[in-house]
């Protein structure tokens, strides 16, 4: 996977991406990172790349020409014509499934905006994907680009060690991850759930699956609508609904659960 980033802050991208697991993957040659400083393509010669918005209003707009020149120079040096991802709160919300799809590409170009955005005309010319990382507004596209590159990198074969990739089930299968515990067995009076100390793999797996179902119900119930349940899952969810487990379930959670199970029974 070759990442190319059009940005006003290349050092921010490089510092972030050359750290930890993505840094290791770059060193190993599984990922490559190439940043292009849009400021180097200023048309005024003094490094200026922004101007006032037509129609008035607060802030500055990044001009079309420096962005276009940076892009053209970049693609003149690569064989393919990669997808261009523009990071913006006006885009589609980034999800695990999108990370999996983008990971199939050979090259990806990320375009990071600043100020009040980029002149629409150049976006129309070059952008293939408009992506938001969530419903909040950041000061620029660099952090969102790094979020995407990190999530995509995890899906590139070889980037995670076997051990690391075994721990990545959240959102795969639409369920949140179960809780994890490590030594000591008693930490400040809080004990590790006994089933995890039992050595009974079947019971451990069942307990973890139930915890995933419970967590998803509590924190992100809407995800359960897209999850698949086997017989044992349904048995646990019914037990929760009938309040036959030790878990406390709120009236809202019960309400959601009864609707979910009714829909599933019909299907």
Give yes or no for residue 89 binding ligand ADE (CB under 6 A): yes
Give yes or no for residue 130 binding ligand ADE (CB under 6 A): no
Question: Among residue numbers 141 through 200, which ones bind ligand ADE (CB under 6 A)?
Answer: 141, 144
The binder of ligand ADE chosen from 47, 134, 158, 194 (CB under 6 A): 134
The binder of ligand ADE chosen from 30, 75, 78, 138 (CB under 6 A): 138
Nearest Cα residue to 95 out of 239, 220, 3, 264: 220
Give yes or no for residue 98 binding ligand ADE (CB under 6 A): no
CB of 146 to ligand ADE, least distance (A): 11
CB of 98 to ligand ADE, least distance (A): 13
Fill in the per-residue mask, 68 to 87: x = in contact with ligand ADE (CB under 6 A), - = not in contact. Answer: -------------------x
The binder of ligand ADE chosen from 133, 153, 155, 240 (CB under 6 A): 133
The binder of ligand ADE chosen from 88, 210, 212, 216 (CB under 6 A): 88
Q: 45 and 16 in contact (C-beta within 8 Å)?
A: no
CB of 57 to ligand ADE, least distance (A): 17
CB of 140 to ligand ADE, least distance (A): 6
CB of 48 to ligand ADE, least distance (A): 22
Give yes or no for residue 137 binding ligand ADE (CB under 6 A): yes
In the complex with ligand ADE, the residue whose CB is nearer, 138 or 249, is 138
Note the residues at the interface with ligand ADE (CB under 6 A): 87-89, 132-134, 136-138, 141, 144
């Amino acid at each position: 996977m070759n990442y190319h980033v059009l940005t006003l802050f290349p050092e921010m991208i490089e510092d972030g991406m050359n750290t930890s697991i993505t840094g290791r993957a770059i060193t190993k040659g599984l990922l490559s990172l190439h940043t292009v400083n849009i400021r180097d393509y200023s048309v005024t010669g003094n490094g200026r790349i922004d101007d006032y918005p037509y129609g008035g209003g607060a802030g500055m707009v990044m001009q079309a020409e420096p962005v276009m020149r940076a892009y053209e120079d970049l693609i003149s040096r690569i064989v393919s014509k990669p997808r261009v991802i523009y990071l913006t709160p006006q885009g589609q919300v980034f999800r695990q499934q999108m990370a999996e799809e983008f990971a199939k590409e050979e090259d990806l170009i990320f375009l990071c905006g600043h100020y009040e955005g980029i002149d629409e005309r150049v976006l129309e010319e070059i952008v293939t994907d408009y992506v938001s990382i969530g419903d909040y507004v950041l000061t620029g596209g660099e952090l969102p680009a790094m979020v995407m590159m990190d999530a995509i990198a995890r899906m590139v074969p070889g980037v995670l060690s076997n051990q690391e990739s075994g721990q990545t089930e959240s959102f795969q299968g639409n369920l949140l991850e179960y809780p994890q515990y490590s030594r000591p067995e008693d930490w400040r009076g809080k004990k590790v759930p006994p089933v995890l100390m039992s050595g009974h793999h079947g019971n451990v797996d069942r307990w973890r699956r139930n915890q995933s179902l419970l967590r998803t119900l509590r924190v992100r119930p809407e995800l359960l609508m897209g999850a698949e349940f086997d017989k044992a899952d349904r048995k646990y969810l019914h037990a929760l609904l009938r309040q036959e487990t030790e878990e406390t379930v709120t009236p809202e959670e019960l309400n959601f659960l009864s609707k979910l199970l009714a829909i599933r029974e019909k299907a």
